[in-house]
Structure 1
Amino acid sequence: MNSTPEADQLNIVSAKGLIKDYNSFRAVNDIEFEIEKGECFGFLGPNGAGKTSVMRILYCFMPPTRGTVRVFGIDVLDNPSLIKSRIGVMPQDDNLDVDLAVLENLVVYARYFGIPRKRSVPSALELLDYVELADKMNAPILSLSGGMKRSLLLARALVNHPEVLVLDEPTTGLDPHNRRMVWDKLDDLKSKKTTLVLTTHYMEEADRLCDRVAIMDSGRIVTIDSPTNLKTIHGGSLEEVYLKLTGRPLEP
Protein backbone atom coordinates (compact mmCIF):
# COMPACT_ATOMS: atom_id res chain seq x y z
CA MET A 1 0.00 0.00 0.00
CA ASN A 2 1.32 3.44 -0.91
CA SER A 3 2.18 5.82 1.90
CA THR A 4 -0.27 8.66 2.56
CA PRO A 5 0.12 11.93 4.48
CA GLU A 6 -2.18 10.56 7.15
CA ALA A 7 -0.08 7.41 7.59
CA ASP A 8 3.09 9.49 7.91
CA GLN A 9 1.87 11.49 10.88
CA LEU A 10 3.39 10.81 14.28
CA ASN A 11 0.11 9.91 15.98
CA ILE A 12 -1.52 7.10 14.07
CA VAL A 13 -4.49 6.93 16.49
CA SER A 14 -6.02 9.79 18.48
CA ALA A 15 -9.12 10.20 20.61
CA LYS A 16 -10.57 13.32 22.23
CA GLY A 17 -13.62 13.54 24.48
CA LEU A 18 -14.47 9.89 23.71
CA ILE A 19 -17.72 8.72 25.29
CA LYS A 20 -19.54 5.44 24.75
CA ASP A 21 -22.97 4.85 26.27
CA TYR A 22 -25.04 1.67 26.23
CA ASN A 23 -28.52 2.99 26.98
CA SER A 24 -28.11 4.51 30.48
CA PHE A 25 -24.70 2.90 31.17
CA ARG A 26 -21.58 4.91 30.36
CA ALA A 27 -18.84 2.43 29.47
CA VAL A 28 -16.28 5.01 28.32
CA ASN A 29 -16.34 8.35 30.08
CA ASP A 30 -14.72 11.30 28.32
CA ILE A 31 -11.22 9.94 27.65
CA GLU A 32 -8.35 11.25 25.55
CA PHE A 33 -5.24 9.51 24.24
CA GLU A 34 -2.83 9.38 21.32
CA ILE A 35 -0.91 6.40 19.95
CA GLU A 36 2.31 6.95 18.06
CA LYS A 37 3.12 5.19 14.84
CA GLY A 38 5.16 2.04 15.52
CA GLU A 39 4.60 1.84 19.27
CA CYS A 40 2.89 -0.82 21.36
CA PHE A 41 0.15 0.83 23.42
CA GLY A 42 -1.73 -1.14 26.06
CA PHE A 43 -5.02 -0.63 27.85
CA LEU A 44 -5.01 -2.14 31.36
CA GLY A 45 -7.99 -2.57 33.60
CA PRO A 46 -10.48 -5.01 35.10
CA ASN A 47 -13.53 -6.34 33.30
CA GLY A 48 -15.96 -3.48 32.77
CA ALA A 49 -13.27 -0.80 32.70
CA GLY A 50 -14.14 0.14 29.11
CA LYS A 51 -11.11 -1.34 27.36
CA THR A 52 -12.95 -3.50 24.83
CA SER A 53 -15.39 -0.70 24.01
CA VAL A 54 -12.46 1.56 23.14
CA MET A 55 -10.93 -1.14 20.95
CA ARG A 56 -14.19 -1.77 19.08
CA ILE A 57 -14.50 1.93 18.33
CA LEU A 58 -10.91 2.04 17.05
CA TYR A 59 -11.50 -0.73 14.53
CA CYS A 60 -14.89 0.68 13.52
CA PHE A 61 -17.00 -2.15 14.92
CA MET A 62 -19.24 0.41 16.60
CA PRO A 63 -19.46 4.22 16.66
CA PRO A 64 -18.66 6.48 19.60
CA THR A 65 -21.56 8.16 21.35
CA ARG A 66 -19.64 11.43 21.49
CA GLY A 67 -16.13 12.66 20.87
CA THR A 68 -13.66 12.33 18.03
CA VAL A 69 -11.59 9.26 17.16
CA ARG A 70 -9.13 9.30 14.27
CA VAL A 71 -7.11 6.44 12.83
CA PHE A 72 -4.53 7.31 10.15
CA GLY A 73 -5.90 10.84 10.49
CA ILE A 74 -9.34 9.61 9.35
CA ASP A 75 -12.41 10.09 11.53
CA VAL A 76 -13.91 6.66 12.31
CA LEU A 77 -17.34 7.97 11.31
CA ASP A 78 -16.19 9.37 7.96
CA ASN A 79 -14.55 6.39 6.25
CA PRO A 80 -14.68 3.21 8.34
CA SER A 81 -14.11 0.97 5.30
CA LEU A 82 -10.76 2.59 4.54
CA ILE A 83 -9.67 2.29 8.17
CA LYS A 84 -10.72 -1.37 8.33
CA SER A 85 -8.71 -2.15 5.20
CA ARG A 86 -5.53 -1.05 6.98
CA ILE A 87 -6.15 -2.62 10.40
CA GLY A 88 -5.83 -6.18 11.66
CA VAL A 89 -7.96 -7.39 14.57
CA MET A 90 -7.31 -10.30 16.90
CA PRO A 91 -10.49 -10.58 19.02
CA GLN A 92 -10.71 -11.94 22.52
CA ASP A 93 -13.34 -14.48 21.51
CA ASP A 94 -12.71 -17.38 19.15
CA ASN A 95 -14.76 -16.61 16.03
CA LEU A 96 -13.01 -18.94 13.58
CA ASP A 97 -15.21 -20.67 10.99
CA VAL A 98 -15.54 -24.27 12.20
CA ASP A 99 -16.87 -25.34 8.79
CA LEU A 100 -13.51 -24.53 7.17
CA ALA A 101 -10.08 -26.06 7.62
CA VAL A 102 -7.19 -23.99 8.95
CA LEU A 103 -5.83 -22.75 5.61
CA GLU A 104 -9.28 -21.98 4.22
CA ASN A 105 -10.07 -19.81 7.27
CA LEU A 106 -7.30 -17.48 6.12
CA VAL A 107 -8.06 -17.67 2.41
CA VAL A 108 -11.77 -16.95 2.85
CA TYR A 109 -11.03 -14.11 5.28
CA ALA A 110 -8.70 -12.56 2.69
CA ARG A 111 -11.70 -12.11 0.38
CA TYR A 112 -13.01 -9.38 2.68
CA PHE A 113 -9.96 -7.34 1.65
CA GLY A 114 -10.33 -8.10 -2.05
CA ILE A 115 -7.29 -10.39 -2.07
CA PRO A 116 -7.65 -12.99 -4.85
CA ARG A 117 -7.03 -16.66 -4.12
CA LYS A 118 -3.88 -16.81 -6.25
CA ARG A 119 -2.34 -14.27 -3.85
CA SER A 120 -4.06 -15.29 -0.63
CA VAL A 121 -3.04 -18.97 -0.68
CA PRO A 122 0.74 -18.37 -0.81
CA SER A 123 0.39 -15.57 1.75
CA ALA A 124 -1.71 -17.77 4.05
CA LEU A 125 0.87 -20.56 3.85
CA GLU A 126 3.57 -18.08 4.87
CA LEU A 127 1.46 -16.89 7.79
CA LEU A 128 0.81 -20.44 8.98
CA ASP A 129 4.53 -21.07 8.93
CA TYR A 130 5.06 -17.79 10.81
CA VAL A 131 2.75 -18.86 13.66
CA GLU A 132 4.02 -22.45 13.60
CA LEU A 133 0.85 -24.03 12.22
CA ALA A 134 2.10 -25.12 8.78
CA ASP A 135 1.56 -28.78 9.64
CA LYS A 136 -2.08 -28.04 10.54
CA MET A 137 -3.08 -26.39 7.26
CA ASN A 138 -5.72 -29.03 6.46
CA ALA A 139 -6.84 -29.67 10.03
CA PRO A 140 -10.42 -28.92 11.11
CA ILE A 141 -10.76 -26.04 13.55
CA LEU A 142 -12.35 -28.21 16.22
CA SER A 143 -9.21 -30.36 16.36
CA LEU A 144 -7.01 -27.43 17.39
CA SER A 145 -5.92 -26.72 20.94
CA GLY A 146 -6.70 -23.37 22.55
CA GLY A 147 -3.17 -22.19 21.89
CA MET A 148 -3.36 -23.17 18.23
CA LYS A 149 -6.64 -21.28 17.81
CA ARG A 150 -5.08 -18.12 19.30
CA SER A 151 -2.15 -18.51 16.91
CA LEU A 152 -4.53 -18.89 13.97
CA LEU A 153 -6.44 -15.79 15.04
CA LEU A 154 -3.16 -13.89 15.04
CA ALA A 155 -2.36 -15.18 11.54
CA ARG A 156 -5.82 -14.18 10.34
CA ALA A 157 -5.33 -10.68 11.75
CA LEU A 158 -2.22 -10.35 9.57
CA VAL A 159 -3.85 -11.44 6.30
CA ASN A 160 -4.12 -7.87 4.97
CA HIS A 161 -0.61 -6.84 6.14
CA PRO A 162 -2.05 -4.25 8.55
CA GLU A 163 -0.35 -1.04 9.60
CA VAL A 164 -2.13 -1.23 12.96
CA LEU A 165 -2.80 -4.51 14.79
CA VAL A 166 -5.51 -4.46 17.46
CA LEU A 167 -5.28 -7.29 20.00
CA ASP A 168 -8.00 -7.84 22.61
CA GLU A 169 -6.56 -10.07 25.36
CA PRO A 170 -4.28 -11.89 22.87
CA THR A 171 -2.98 -14.54 25.30
CA THR A 172 -6.05 -15.22 27.44
CA GLY A 173 -6.20 -18.89 28.41
CA LEU A 174 -2.78 -19.79 27.04
CA ASP A 175 -0.17 -21.81 28.89
CA PRO A 176 3.22 -20.12 29.54
CA HIS A 177 4.86 -21.69 26.47
CA ASN A 178 2.19 -20.54 24.02
CA ARG A 179 1.95 -17.14 25.70
CA ARG A 180 5.66 -16.55 25.14
CA MET A 181 5.36 -17.72 21.55
CA VAL A 182 2.73 -15.03 20.93
CA TRP A 183 4.91 -12.46 22.70
CA ASP A 184 7.82 -13.34 20.42
CA LYS A 185 5.64 -12.82 17.34
CA LEU A 186 4.43 -9.45 18.64
CA ASP A 187 8.02 -8.42 19.39
CA ASP A 188 8.86 -9.29 15.79
CA LEU A 189 5.96 -7.22 14.46
CA LYS A 190 7.06 -4.29 16.62
CA SER A 191 10.54 -4.54 15.13
CA LYS A 192 8.90 -4.17 11.70
CA LYS A 193 7.20 -0.94 12.85
CA THR A 194 3.68 -2.36 13.04
CA THR A 195 1.67 -0.33 15.53
CA LEU A 196 0.21 -2.59 18.23
CA VAL A 197 -2.79 -1.71 20.37
CA LEU A 198 -3.70 -4.29 22.99
CA THR A 199 -5.74 -4.96 26.10
CA THR A 200 -4.48 -7.38 28.69
CA HIS A 201 -5.00 -8.56 32.24
CA TYR A 202 -1.42 -9.80 32.45
CA MET A 203 0.97 -7.30 34.00
CA GLU A 204 4.00 -9.27 32.81
CA GLU A 205 2.63 -9.05 29.27
CA ALA A 206 2.17 -5.29 29.47
CA ASP A 207 5.61 -4.84 31.01
CA ARG A 208 7.22 -6.98 28.30
CA LEU A 209 5.46 -5.58 25.24
CA CYS A 210 4.16 -2.07 25.84
CA ASP A 211 5.98 1.19 25.24
CA ARG A 212 3.15 2.97 27.07
CA VAL A 213 0.02 1.87 28.92
CA ALA A 214 -3.27 3.54 29.76
CA ILE A 215 -4.63 2.33 33.10
CA MET A 216 -8.42 2.40 32.99
CA ASP A 217 -11.01 2.12 35.73
CA SER A 218 -14.78 2.62 35.50
CA GLY A 219 -14.61 4.03 31.99
CA ARG A 220 -11.92 6.60 32.70
CA ILE A 221 -8.18 6.71 32.06
CA VAL A 222 -6.37 7.05 35.38
CA THR A 223 -2.93 7.61 33.85
CA ILE A 224 -0.88 7.08 30.69
CA ASP A 225 2.86 6.42 30.88
CA SER A 226 5.54 3.86 30.17
CA PRO A 227 5.70 0.84 32.48
CA THR A 228 9.21 1.89 33.51
CA ASN A 229 8.13 5.41 34.45
CA LEU A 230 5.08 4.16 36.35
CA LYS A 231 7.20 1.78 38.40
CA THR A 232 9.77 4.49 39.08
CA ILE A 233 7.20 7.11 40.10
CA HIS A 234 4.94 4.89 42.19
CA GLY A 235 7.34 2.14 43.26
CA GLY A 236 6.96 -1.63 43.05
CA SER A 237 5.81 -3.81 40.17
CA LEU A 238 3.35 -2.75 37.48
CA GLU A 239 0.62 -4.72 39.25
CA GLU A 240 1.38 -2.89 42.49
CA VAL A 241 1.17 0.41 40.62
CA TYR A 242 -2.21 -0.63 39.25
CA LEU A 243 -3.46 -1.53 42.72
CA LYS A 244 -2.23 1.78 44.10
CA LEU A 245 -3.92 3.84 41.37
CA THR A 246 -7.23 2.01 41.15
CA GLY A 247 -7.63 0.42 44.56
CA ARG A 248 -8.68 -2.92 43.15
CA PRO A 249 -7.00 -5.97 41.58
CA LEU A 250 -7.14 -7.06 37.98
CA GLU A 251 -9.64 -9.80 37.27
CA PRO A 252 -8.45 -12.83 35.28
Structure 2
Amino acid sequence: MTSATTPRTVLITGGNRGIGYAIAEEFVAQGHRVAVTSRTGEGGPAGALTVKGDVTDTASIDAAFSEVESEFGPVEVVVANAGITRDMLLMRMGEDDFTSVVDTNLTGAFRVVKRASKGMLKARFGRIVLISSVVGLYGGPGQANYSASKAALVGFARSISRELGARGITANVVAPGFIETDMTAELPEAQQAEYKKSIPAGRYGSASEVAKVVAWISSDDAAYITGAVVPVDGGLGMGH
Protein backbone atom coordinates (compact mmCIF):
# COMPACT_ATOMS: atom_id res chain seq x y z
CA MET A 1 0.00 0.00 0.00
CA THR A 2 1.38 3.43 -0.91
CA SER A 3 1.70 6.10 1.73
CA ALA A 4 -0.85 8.23 -0.16
CA THR A 5 -3.60 5.68 0.49
CA THR A 6 -5.70 5.93 3.65
CA PRO A 7 -7.25 2.54 4.49
CA ARG A 8 -11.01 2.85 4.02
CA THR A 9 -14.10 0.72 4.54
CA VAL A 10 -15.26 -0.18 1.04
CA LEU A 11 -18.51 -1.85 -0.06
CA ILE A 12 -18.97 -3.16 -3.62
CA THR A 13 -22.36 -4.46 -4.78
CA GLY A 14 -22.29 -7.51 -7.04
CA GLY A 15 -18.70 -8.22 -6.04
CA ASN A 16 -18.94 -11.99 -6.50
CA ARG A 17 -18.01 -12.07 -10.20
CA GLY A 18 -16.73 -10.17 -13.21
CA ILE A 19 -15.80 -6.51 -12.85
CA GLY A 20 -17.13 -6.28 -9.27
CA TYR A 21 -14.89 -9.17 -8.21
CA ALA A 22 -11.85 -7.49 -9.79
CA ILE A 23 -12.68 -4.18 -8.07
CA ALA A 24 -12.87 -5.96 -4.72
CA GLU A 25 -9.52 -7.69 -5.36
CA GLU A 26 -7.87 -4.34 -6.15
CA PHE A 27 -9.14 -2.68 -2.96
CA VAL A 28 -8.00 -5.70 -0.91
CA ALA A 29 -4.54 -5.50 -2.54
CA GLN A 30 -4.33 -1.82 -1.59
CA GLY A 31 -4.97 -2.64 2.08
CA HIS A 32 -8.58 -1.49 2.50
CA ARG A 33 -11.32 -3.12 4.58
CA VAL A 34 -13.44 -4.61 1.81
CA ALA A 35 -16.95 -6.02 1.77
CA VAL A 36 -18.98 -7.23 -1.21
CA THR A 37 -22.63 -8.06 -1.60
CA SER A 38 -23.99 -11.00 -3.55
CA ARG A 39 -27.50 -12.36 -3.70
CA THR A 40 -26.42 -15.64 -2.13
CA GLY A 41 -24.03 -14.14 0.43
CA GLU A 42 -21.06 -16.04 -0.98
CA GLY A 43 -18.54 -15.87 -3.82
CA GLY A 44 -16.42 -12.81 -3.05
CA PRO A 45 -12.62 -12.76 -3.35
CA ALA A 46 -10.18 -13.81 -0.62
CA GLY A 47 -9.63 -11.09 1.96
CA ALA A 48 -13.10 -9.57 1.49
CA LEU A 49 -16.18 -9.99 3.67
CA THR A 50 -19.09 -11.28 1.56
CA VAL A 51 -22.57 -10.40 2.79
CA LYS A 52 -26.00 -11.24 1.43
CA GLY A 53 -27.61 -8.32 -0.35
CA ASP A 54 -30.15 -7.78 -3.12
CA VAL A 55 -30.15 -4.26 -4.60
CA THR A 56 -33.84 -4.59 -5.56
CA ASP A 57 -34.79 -4.93 -1.87
CA THR A 58 -34.30 -1.95 0.47
CA ALA A 59 -34.49 -4.05 3.65
CA SER A 60 -31.90 -6.47 2.28
CA ILE A 61 -29.49 -3.60 1.50
CA ASP A 62 -30.04 -2.08 4.96
CA ALA A 63 -29.20 -5.44 6.56
CA ALA A 64 -26.07 -5.81 4.39
CA PHE A 65 -24.83 -2.35 5.41
CA SER A 66 -25.54 -3.06 9.09
CA GLU A 67 -23.48 -6.26 8.87
CA VAL A 68 -20.55 -4.44 7.24
CA GLU A 69 -20.77 -1.54 9.72
CA SER A 70 -20.65 -3.88 12.71
CA GLU A 71 -17.58 -5.61 11.25
CA PHE A 72 -15.61 -2.69 9.78
CA GLY A 73 -17.32 0.56 10.82
CA PRO A 74 -19.14 3.04 8.56
CA VAL A 75 -18.84 2.57 4.80
CA GLU A 76 -16.58 5.29 3.36
CA VAL A 77 -16.39 4.11 -0.26
CA VAL A 78 -19.38 2.59 -2.03
CA VAL A 79 -19.20 1.09 -5.52
CA ALA A 80 -22.63 0.50 -7.09
CA ASN A 81 -21.72 -2.25 -9.53
CA ALA A 82 -24.60 -4.78 -9.42
CA GLY A 83 -26.43 -4.91 -12.72
CA ILE A 84 -28.41 -7.10 -15.10
CA THR A 85 -29.14 -7.19 -18.83
CA ARG A 86 -32.24 -8.29 -20.70
CA ASP A 87 -31.25 -7.49 -24.25
CA MET A 88 -33.86 -7.60 -26.98
CA LEU A 89 -35.22 -5.41 -29.74
CA LEU A 90 -37.64 -2.68 -28.72
CA MET A 91 -40.59 -4.21 -30.54
CA ARG A 92 -40.20 -7.45 -28.57
CA MET A 93 -39.33 -5.87 -25.23
CA GLY A 94 -42.01 -6.31 -22.60
CA GLU A 95 -42.63 -3.71 -19.92
CA ASP A 96 -41.20 -6.05 -17.29
CA ASP A 97 -38.03 -6.48 -19.36
CA PHE A 98 -37.61 -2.71 -19.19
CA THR A 99 -38.62 -2.01 -15.61
CA SER A 100 -36.68 -4.93 -14.07
CA VAL A 101 -33.43 -3.72 -15.65
CA VAL A 102 -34.06 -0.14 -14.52
CA ASP A 103 -35.01 -1.34 -11.01
CA THR A 104 -31.73 -3.24 -10.61
CA ASN A 105 -29.30 -0.96 -12.43
CA LEU A 106 -30.67 2.48 -11.53
CA THR A 107 -33.06 2.21 -8.59
CA GLY A 108 -30.69 -0.38 -7.09
CA ALA A 109 -27.88 2.19 -7.19
CA PHE A 110 -30.22 4.74 -5.55
CA ARG A 111 -31.04 2.33 -2.69
CA VAL A 112 -27.36 1.59 -2.07
CA VAL A 113 -26.16 5.20 -2.29
CA LYS A 114 -28.97 6.54 -0.10
CA ARG A 115 -28.07 4.03 2.64
CA ALA A 116 -24.34 4.79 2.32
CA SER A 117 -24.85 8.55 2.43
CA LYS A 118 -26.01 8.52 6.07
CA GLY A 119 -22.59 7.52 7.39
CA MET A 120 -20.77 9.66 4.82
CA LEU A 121 -22.64 12.82 5.86
CA LYS A 122 -21.76 12.19 9.52
CA ALA A 123 -18.09 11.61 8.66
CA ARG A 124 -18.00 14.48 6.15
CA PHE A 125 -16.18 12.10 3.82
CA GLY A 126 -17.32 9.72 1.12
CA ARG A 127 -16.58 8.26 -2.28
CA ILE A 128 -19.52 7.15 -4.42
CA VAL A 129 -18.64 5.30 -7.64
CA LEU A 130 -21.36 4.21 -10.06
CA ILE A 131 -20.44 1.58 -12.65
CA SER A 132 -22.10 2.54 -15.92
CA SER A 133 -21.19 1.41 -19.45
CA VAL A 134 -20.04 2.85 -22.76
CA VAL A 135 -23.51 1.81 -23.98
CA GLY A 136 -25.07 4.33 -21.58
CA LEU A 137 -24.10 7.29 -23.77
CA TYR A 138 -23.12 5.54 -27.01
CA GLY A 139 -26.24 3.40 -27.30
CA GLY A 140 -26.55 -0.19 -28.41
CA PRO A 141 -29.15 -1.98 -30.55
CA GLY A 142 -31.31 -4.29 -28.44
CA GLN A 143 -30.25 -2.47 -25.28
CA ALA A 144 -32.82 0.32 -24.84
CA ASN A 145 -33.48 -0.79 -21.24
CA TYR A 146 -29.83 -1.32 -20.26
CA SER A 147 -28.61 1.82 -22.02
CA ALA A 148 -31.32 3.97 -20.41
CA SER A 149 -30.51 2.64 -16.94
CA LYS A 150 -26.76 3.25 -17.40
CA ALA A 151 -27.20 6.74 -18.91
CA ALA A 152 -29.38 7.74 -15.96
CA LEU A 153 -26.51 7.07 -13.54
CA VAL A 154 -24.77 10.16 -14.96
CA GLY A 155 -27.60 12.51 -13.98
CA PHE A 156 -27.83 10.74 -10.62
CA ALA A 157 -24.10 11.21 -9.88
CA ARG A 158 -24.15 14.86 -10.95
CA SER A 159 -27.14 15.68 -8.77
CA ILE A 160 -25.51 13.95 -5.78
CA SER A 161 -22.30 15.90 -6.47
CA ARG A 162 -24.21 19.18 -6.23
CA GLU A 163 -26.04 18.10 -3.07
CA LEU A 164 -23.17 16.55 -1.14
CA GLY A 165 -20.00 18.03 -2.63
CA ALA A 166 -19.46 20.54 0.19
CA ARG A 167 -19.45 17.65 2.73
CA GLY A 168 -16.31 16.02 1.36
CA ILE A 169 -18.33 13.48 -0.65
CA THR A 170 -17.60 12.81 -4.33
CA ALA A 171 -19.82 10.96 -6.80
CA ASN A 172 -18.37 9.75 -10.08
CA VAL A 173 -19.28 7.38 -12.90
CA VAL A 174 -16.90 4.83 -14.41
CA ALA A 175 -18.01 3.66 -17.85
CA PRO A 176 -16.33 0.45 -19.05
CA GLY A 177 -16.36 -0.57 -22.70
CA PHE A 178 -15.85 -4.13 -23.97
CA ILE A 179 -14.14 -5.94 -21.09
CA GLU A 180 -12.81 -9.50 -21.18
CA THR A 181 -15.24 -11.49 -19.06
CA ASP A 182 -16.85 -14.93 -19.21
CA MET A 183 -19.61 -13.37 -21.34
CA THR A 184 -17.31 -11.89 -24.02
CA ALA A 185 -15.25 -15.12 -24.13
CA GLU A 186 -18.36 -17.01 -25.28
CA LEU A 187 -18.86 -14.81 -28.37
CA PRO A 188 -17.91 -16.38 -31.73
CA GLU A 189 -14.40 -15.41 -32.91
CA ALA A 190 -15.72 -13.60 -36.00
CA GLN A 191 -18.00 -11.48 -33.82
CA GLN A 192 -15.15 -10.72 -31.41
CA ALA A 193 -12.97 -9.58 -34.31
CA GLU A 194 -15.80 -7.36 -35.61
CA TYR A 195 -16.21 -5.68 -32.20
CA LYS A 196 -12.46 -5.11 -31.89
CA LYS A 197 -12.44 -3.21 -35.21
CA SER A 198 -14.59 -0.49 -33.61
CA ILE A 199 -12.21 -0.06 -30.64
CA PRO A 200 -9.32 2.36 -31.34
CA ALA A 201 -7.11 0.46 -28.86
CA GLY A 202 -7.68 -2.69 -30.94
CA ARG A 203 -8.37 -4.97 -27.98
CA TYR A 204 -10.80 -5.66 -25.17
CA GLY A 205 -10.02 -4.23 -21.74
CA SER A 206 -9.36 -6.31 -18.65
CA ALA A 207 -11.46 -6.19 -15.50
CA SER A 208 -8.34 -5.19 -13.54
CA GLU A 209 -7.94 -2.09 -15.76
CA VAL A 210 -11.43 -0.99 -14.71
CA ALA A 211 -10.69 -1.87 -11.08
CA LYS A 212 -7.57 0.31 -10.93
CA VAL A 213 -9.52 3.34 -12.21
CA VAL A 214 -12.27 2.75 -9.62
CA ALA A 215 -9.68 2.48 -6.83
CA TRP A 216 -7.93 5.66 -7.97
CA ILE A 217 -11.11 7.74 -8.21
CA SER A 218 -11.94 6.57 -4.68
CA SER A 219 -8.54 7.63 -3.36
CA ASP A 220 -7.36 10.71 -1.47
CA ASP A 221 -5.66 11.88 -4.68
CA ALA A 222 -9.04 12.24 -6.45
CA ALA A 223 -10.69 14.44 -3.81
CA TYR A 224 -11.34 17.28 -6.28
CA ILE A 225 -13.01 15.13 -8.95
CA THR A 226 -16.78 14.81 -8.74
CA GLY A 227 -19.62 14.51 -11.23
CA ALA A 228 -17.20 13.08 -13.79
CA VAL A 229 -17.75 10.26 -16.27
CA VAL A 230 -14.51 8.31 -16.67
CA PRO A 231 -14.49 6.03 -19.71
CA VAL A 232 -12.40 2.84 -19.61
CA ASP A 233 -13.20 1.75 -23.13
CA GLY A 234 -10.08 1.92 -25.33
CA GLY A 235 -11.53 4.98 -27.07
CA LEU A 236 -14.76 3.32 -28.20
CA GLY A 237 -17.11 5.99 -26.84
CA MET A 238 -14.91 9.03 -27.66
CA GLY A 239 -16.68 11.46 -25.39
CA HIS A 240 -20.19 10.12 -25.83
Same fold (TM over 0.5): no
Higher relative contact order (CA 8 A, sep 6+): 1
Superposition TM-score, scaled by structure 2 size: 0.29
TM-score normalised by length of structure 1: 0.28
